[in-house]
Amino acid sequence: MKQLLTRNETLVALVIVAFCLVGTLSDPLFFTVTTLSDLLRASIVIGILAVGCVLVLISGGIDVSFTAIAVFAMYATTIFTLGVWPDMPWPLIFLISIGIGAALGAVNALFIAGFGLPTLIVTLATLSIFRGFLLTFVGSDRISALPPEMRNFSRLVIARGNTEAGNFYSLPWAFAALVLVIVLTWFILQKTMLGRSIYALGGSVESARRIGVNVRRTQVFVYVYVGALAGLAGIIHGAMGRMADPFSLVGLELSVIAAVVLGGARLIGGYGTITGTLLGVGLIVLVQNSLIVLGIPSSWQTATIGLLILLGTGIPAYQAKRAAARAG
Amino acid sequence: MASMTKVPAPGLVNSPEFRLLIIAIAVFGLMSVLSPDRFLSPQNLTSMAFQFPEFAILALAMTLAMMTGGIDLSVVGVANLSAVSAALLLANVAGPEATGAAGIFWLFVAITLALAIGATAGFINGVLVANYGLPPILATLGAGLVFTGIAVAFTGGSAVMGLPPAIAFIGNETLFGIPFPLILFALLALGLHILLTRTSFGLKVTMYGANPRAAFFAALDIDRIILKVYTIAGMFSATAGLVIMSRANSAKADYGSSYLLLAVLIAVLGGVNPYGGYGRVIGVVLAVLSMQFLSSGLNMLQVSNFARELIWGALLIFVMVINVVDWQALRQRRRSVSSGGKT
Amino acid sequence: MTQETSPPFIAMKGIVKRYAGVTALGGVDFTVAPGEAVCLAGENGSGKSTLIKILAGVEQPTEGEIRIDRALAGRLDPRVASNAGIMVIFQDFSLFPNLSVAENIAFASQLAAHRSFYARGEARRVAKAALERIGVDIPLGARLEDLPVAQKQLVAICRGLASDARLLILDEPTTALTEREVRRLLDIIRKLKEEGVAVIFVSHKLAEVLEVSEKVVVLRNGEKVAEGPAAEFDAASLTYHMTGREVAEAAPAPLAPGAETLLTVENLSKDGSFRNVSFTLAKGEILGITGLLGSGRTSLAKALFGLVASDAGRINVNGQDVPLGDPIAASEAHIGYVPEDRLTEGLFLTQSIVRNVSIGRLDAHEASGFLNRKSLIGEAADWLQKLKVKAPQIEAPVQSLSGGNQQRVALARWLARAPQVLILNGPSVGVDVGSKADIHDIIRELATSGIGVIVISDDLPELLVTCHRILVMRGGEIVDETAAADTSEDDLAHRLAS
């Protein structure tokens, strides 16, 4: 099984490498700092969301509401900031958004850990509840006059400049948030008892309960943490896009889940790694942004992502099926 | 899983369907009281009958997939791919000028094409689930994107228009004064009900959903059951696609994108166990009616579309909590302090 | 009562446990002292599993009090129990398939120590020490799901040893172990006892653990029916107390000489499961197949019915070859299979009794596309009556029935299909004593009616009273064959575990 999992990750890595090779061959401008910085920028929000999502999958659940949480937290924070203290420093704005996200995650946790409802159904319902609540009671207008501090944040860059060929590139500080989230989540998953409990829960809920894992508390943590990450991703999305759009993000959840599953996480729980998730995100972002360099018209982008999901999940699923038949 | 293995309590009053009937009547009554002249007007009742069949048919497809413990996230993709294909045929081969016999002929060709595409798409889902062992949620998610993607590629993302007038019949006409989409839905619902309760196949679907492993050990032809289930679901989706096409007088790759959530919601609201093994068509019909009464009523009351989404989600959670919480056990627990038992 | 050398470590008094109206334990007293080993004996359903679940904190008693070191324990949850040094090695192992061996062994102890951070290095050290303590070599980094079942059982035992256990509860600890491994386990138990650790064995095969035990407690139908020093018990008296009656089951009627061969299995092989299995089964014969957990007995049973695809070999029923790895073809060749795990493999628990019986005969009752429900229900009801299933209502969910009646429902499904070869895997697992004898009667009757029956079981007394002939499997091969009349329980136990 271990080889199988590694194979899933290496498979994705190989596809990425092949993609880049073909891309470079067909378009010499593909393999440049500009493309790289574009791709990294594009992967910030989806990356943060995916890291949260993999945590849920490892615990044996599924969450489709995190995009609604992200957009809710972003938009509500923006409205609040504009109304209360337009010059609020951006770290505080971020904290508010993260807090709102965590609170909405706690709503999921209430129904999942509290009432024991199936995670897919709960998060499907909260997806429409959060979005409906946002658009009905908070607002449905796009806001481009963001608080000045949010605009300032989007201008903070780690590196920027022009390549020798004269192409512009820039890597914003927002990327550091993704790195931070990756390190923190990796640490939780690998180094803390909480993280190992999440894996244990995904492996077998009953066994976890028997050795004294607090199943409910672990589940609550998972959904609150995912909510908080969604709040962070949302506010970054708003700041980087320089617009608070209440209609954005929702619809992205299936691509995020696709990225995570491509990276080797399994819906039955217990399996999934940060490395795999990032590879999955890389592939999805590549397809979304650079399909054209492979000579595939962008109108085939949706079909390509679908096909990737089928291949990425189908090959390991088929191997597992064959292995199960062999094991008897 | 443990939380959903609840057996439906015998007896009419305890059944989820009975609760739904109460909910449907309550919503209908409430809306009638809040907006009597408009909600109960013939125009409103007719317009409701035209509105709901398209997503209700998708909910029937979802119900069938959920009975096996699966799910079909490709219903909207299949509906649109079928509709786009039919529309391309109608617009380019028949053309808007095709009237009379020619129009009807091409309509039938288009319907056949749409159903064939629906069946093929569903069959592909089935193969992925049965033969390749993909979890249904991922198989139909991926395949759904592929179907939608093909529809996008066919049309470049824009709507296909210029359809012959004959297609209006499916979505906009009445037969004996009854809106045709409603008749279509009623027939399909009845058909699905009979399929599930009166045929060997239907019983096998239910049993497979209740315990796939036991079905394997009982020497049921599992792969064929799954293939059939998803193929039928695909054909239902194609039918819904045709209704949508007819009502919009066009076809587009991203029509009805909110229907996916709605279809899952209705099926679960209708008492279908998302882990398989339990579901009744009457429950789904009642759930559809509740949803539509709620939607229309809220519409009359000038409530925004977004609030509807909020209320749908809240209704779903509400019904799930009612279905899952074991009221009897709660009462017992209150009586004896230290019972433990079920967590 | 027993003479106790030291004050008890655990004293349970008047423990009552009711599940939704069913009384699993009806006021049981139980004590165990440091350094003492107690055999907790009882049939399936006697309440012994419930008792240890309560001790482990997994279940809460409905009534009664538990004292640990004489202090009244409040609400016992898994963490409190494990902090008190109560370690349970569950029959189903309760391990995590997705985690490494080291983590499986050491995770619980780090959890009990209320750690916040997972110490990987320490986990490896603890796991290594535990494995060394019982003298087995399993790679620490291996993922548990890749291990064979015997090694999983050893990992589960190591987990119990890894923490500072003061009471070790072993639930059916030897089901997958060879005789040599059992001996090593008993040596470890002796050493632990010298260190003052209390031990409870929960087993229905007590002969092998009696030698290291001080005390025996027998439960039956949720009541304590016997308690005394281990020296006063032997296999026969234990069986008497467990079943509540002298065992006087008649052996099956001898096989008619020259009975025609029904089933021929030739060189059936499956990589990693079993090799070169050949045997024949005659009409009216009852053939037992036994072996330890992991010996290949269950894989072989499944392979005979096509649930597992064999790599090579031949299965022939009545002169017709049966395609391998196809349960539908097997059932069309009149082979029937009643699985081991009734709850997950055998029955559709939430579905009605009548559906559970008729599921195998749906197509036979379908005419012009519609089910004839009347004839379907009629036939099912017929079979239920023939097998004396006590069901208040045949439309009630099958999970409302007792274990014995559930097993009869599973049997009825296959009998309705008129099998010629019937494979019964663990036919009386989880069935109460009375029903067990009834099921044995049914098996013997089936054989008398001309059906060839294969009974797969590790319940040796059961094989001895039902079978004509017994095959012993070890390491995937049939290593021994004996007539049931020529062997005894001890002899058979030795043959399968040596």
Instruction: Tell me if chain B has a CB within 8 Å of the CB of A303.
Output: yes
Residues of B in contact with A219 (CB under 8 A): none
State the Cα angle at C101 between C97 and C104, rounded to 5°.
Answer: 70
Proportion of chain B in helix, strand, coil states, percent, rounded to 5: 75, 0, 25
Task: Specify the DSSP class assigned to residue B140.
Answer: H
Question: Mean pLDDT over all residues of chain A?
Answer: 89
Given a cut of 90, is residue A94 above it in pLDDT? yes
Token readout for B179 is 């809106």
Highest mean pLDDT, choosing among B18-32, B231-245, C79-93, C236-250: B231-245
Model pLDDT for residues B204-254, shown as the tens digit of each residue: 999 999 999 899 998 899 999 999 999 999 999 999 999 999 999 889 988
Q: Please name the residues in contact with B191: beta carbons below 8 A apart, sequence gap of 6 or more.
A: none
CA-CA-CA-CA torsion sign (A207, A213, A216, A220): negative
Given a cut of 50, is residue B341 above it in pLDDT? no
Q: Are C102 and C81 a contacting pair, CB within 8 Å?
A: no
Instruction: Tell me if chain A has a CB within 8 Å of the CB of B133.
Output: yes
Token pair 């007539």: residue? C483
In terms of phi and psi (left: phi > 0; alpha: psi -120 to 50; beta: otherwise), the region of A271 is beta
Highest mean pLDDT, choosing among C234-243, C282-291, C421-430: C282-291
Residue of A nearest to C119 (CA): A191
Q: Please name the residues in contact with B41: beta carbons below 8 A apart, sequence gap of 6 or more.
A: none
ipTM score for this prediction: 0.85
CA distances, A325 to each of A321, B308, C303 (Å) = 6, 48, 11
How many Å lie between the alpha carbon of A186 and the closest alpha carbon of chain B? 25
Task: Specify the DSSP class assigned to residue B7.
Answer: P
Q: Calculate mean pLDDT across residues A97-121.
A: 94
Residues of B in contact with C362 (CB under 8 A): 200, 203-204
Instruction: Tell me if chain A has a CB within 8 Å of the CB of B278.
Output: no
Q: Are C216 and C226 a contacting pair, CB within 8 Å?
A: yes
Q: Please name the residues in contact with B236: beta carbons below 8 A apart, sequence gap of 6 or more.
A: B57, B58, B60, B61, B64, B75, B118, B188, B192
Look at C175 and C50; give whichever has higher pLDDT. Answer: C50
Model pLDDT for residues C161-198, shown as the tens digit of each residue: 887 788 989 887 777 777 777 777 888 888 888 888 89
Token pair 């497979």: residue? B208
Phi, psi of B300 (to 5 degrees): -60, -35
Q: How far apart are CA A91 and CA A96, in angstroms?
A: 9
CA distances, B341 to each of B99, B338, C61, C282 (Å) = 69, 9, 9, 48
**Crossing angle of helices A119-133/A66-84, nearest 10°?**
30
Q: Are C115 and C95 a contacting pair, CB within 8 Å?
A: no
Q: How far apart are CA A238 and CA A70, in angstroms?
A: 10
Question: Mean pLDDT over all residues of chain C?
Answer: 85
Q: How much is the pLDDT for A318?
A: 84
How much of chain B, in percent, has pLDDT values that exceed 90? 43
Q: Calculate mean pLDDT across residues A172-196.
A: 94
Bridging pattern class, strands C335-338 and C366-367 = unpaired
Q: How much is the pLDDT for B13?
A: 61
Given a cut of 90, is residue A235 above it in pLDDT? yes
Task: Tell me the residue type at B81.
Answer: L
Q: How much is the pLDDT for B338?
A: 34
CB-nearest partner of B200 from C331, C344, C363: C363
Instruction: Tell me if chain A has a CB within 8 Å of the CB of B265.
Output: yes
* Cα distance between the two ends of chain A: 15
Given a cut of 70, is residue A169 above it in pLDDT? yes
Given a cut of 90, is residue B121 above it in pLDDT? yes
pTM as predicted? 0.85
CA C117 distance to own-chain centroid: 37
Q: How much is the pLDDT for B343?
A: 30
Task: Specify the DSSP class assigned to residue C284.
Answer: T
Furthest C-alpha separation in chain B = 77
Q: How far apart are CA B338 and CA C231, in angstroms?
A: 39
Q: Edge-to-edge strand order for the sheet containing C167-171?
A: C86-89, C167-171, C198-203, C37-41, C215-220, C223-229
Token pair 């015998």: residue? B10
> How would residue B146 be classed by pLDDT, with cut points 50, 70 and 90?
very high
Q: Calculate mean pLDDT across residues A197-208.
A: 93
Q: Are B71 and B209 a contacting pair, CB within 8 Å?
A: no
CA distances, C417 to each of B49, C359, C369, C441 (Å) = 48, 10, 21, 20
Phi, psi of A88 (to 5 degrees): -55, 135
Instruction: Tell me if chain C has a CB within 8 Å of the CB of B213.
Output: yes
How many Å lie between the alpha carbon of B20 and the closest alpha carbon of chain C? 22
Residues of C in contact with B198 (CB under 8 A): 370-371, 373
Q: Per the CB < 8 Å rule, is C98 touching A199?
A: yes
Q: Calculate mean pLDDT across residues A80-87.
A: 92
Residues of B in contact with A303 (CB under 8 A): 145-146, 148-150, 152-153
Interface of B with A in 60-119 (CB under 8 A): 71, 73
> How would residue C260 be classed by pLDDT, with cut points 50, 70 and 90?
confident
Q: How far apart are CA C463 and CA A96, in angstroms?
A: 69
Question: Mean pLDDT over all residues of chain B?
Answer: 85
Alpha helices in C275-319 (DSSP H): 297-304
Q: Please name the residues in contact with B337: beta carbons below 8 A apart, sequence gap of 6 or more.
A: none
Interface of A with B in 81-120 (CB under 8 A): 111, 115-118, 120
CA-CA-CA-CA torsion sign (B46, B49, B52, B53): negative
Q: How much is the pLDDT for B3?
A: 37
Q: How much is the pLDDT for C404?
A: 79
Touching C: which chains, 3+ CB pairs < 8 A? A, B
Model pLDDT for residues B297-332, shown as the tens digit of each residue: 888 877 777 888 888 889 888 888 887 765 545 444
Q: Are A219 and A109 a contacting pair, CB within 8 Å?
A: yes
Nearest alpha carbon to residue C83 among C164, C192, C198: C164
CA distances, B319 to each of A68, B5, B61, B267, C424 (Å) = 22, 16, 21, 12, 43
Instruction: Tell me if chain A has a CB within 8 Å of the CB of C99.
Output: yes
Q: How much is the pLDDT for C89?
A: 86
Q: How much is the pLDDT for A319?
A: 81
Q: Are B50 and B171 a contacting pair, CB within 8 Å?
A: yes
CA B176 distance to own-chain centroid: 25
Helices vs. strands in chain A: H and E counts, helices first: 13, 2
CA distances, B92 to each of B84, B97, B110 (Å) = 12, 11, 12
Token pair 């008897």: residue? A328
Residue of B nearest to A299 (CA): B153
Q: Please name the residues in contact with A205: beta carbons below 8 A apart, sequence gap of 6 or more.
A: A60, A215
